[in-house]
Structures are given as structure tokens and as C-alpha cells.
Amino acid sequence: MQDGVLVVSASRGGACCEAVRAFLSPMGQRVHVVEAKLTEADGVVFASELWTVDRGELSGVAEEIATWIVTQSGEPGDREAVIMIRG
């Protein structure tokens, strides 16, 4: 069951990082698992990762996800990051 979904351009570096933080922060302790997927413009997923969130470490996980997006997305283009949370 998904509790929320964020879709953001993976090619925007800092803006992407801020969007991930802003999306996860209000969720607080309700978040247990965060899944991130990177897609090409045609919707094909080329990378995905799961994070398990322990109590009180959501901001650290947001930073890890943002770093992962920037690292995995490679060259700028029409790629998107899809962030899904599960409570």
C-alpha cells in the first residue's frame, strides 16, 4: 500500500534534493519504507532502491535518496525520479 508518491525531474540536482526533503519531512514517523525509481522519458525504470526508515532518521534517509538520485541519474535528460512511501 502506498501512502504517497512524488515525481520529480532527476536532472535538477539541488532542486530534486529539496523536493525529496520537502516531501518526506511532513510524513514524520508514519514512514516505514521509501522506494525510489528512476525512469527514462518513456517510463522505463532503469534503477530502483528501497530504504527502511527507523524512528527519527527520516532526514538522513531523505539525504541518502537525494544523493542516490543524483548519482544514479547520470547525464542530464528527460529522466524522472518517482518516490513512493509506505507507512
The fold adopted by the segment(s) 4-86 is Dna Ligase; domain 1 (3.30.1490)
Residue 59: how many other CB atoms lie within 10 Å = 11
Amino acid at 32: H
Enumerate the domain spans of the chain.
4-86
The pLDDT, as a whole number, for residue 2 is 55
What are the tens digits of pLDDT across the range 2-19?
A: 578 888 887 666 677 788
Phi, psi at residue 7, to the nearest 5°? -120, 125
Q: Between 84 and 27, where is the model more confident? A: 84
The pLDDT, as a whole number, for residue 36 is 92
What are the tens digits of pLDDT across the range 16-73?
A: 778 888 888 776 666 788 899 999 888 899 999 999 887 667 778 888 888 888 888 8
DSSP state of 32: -
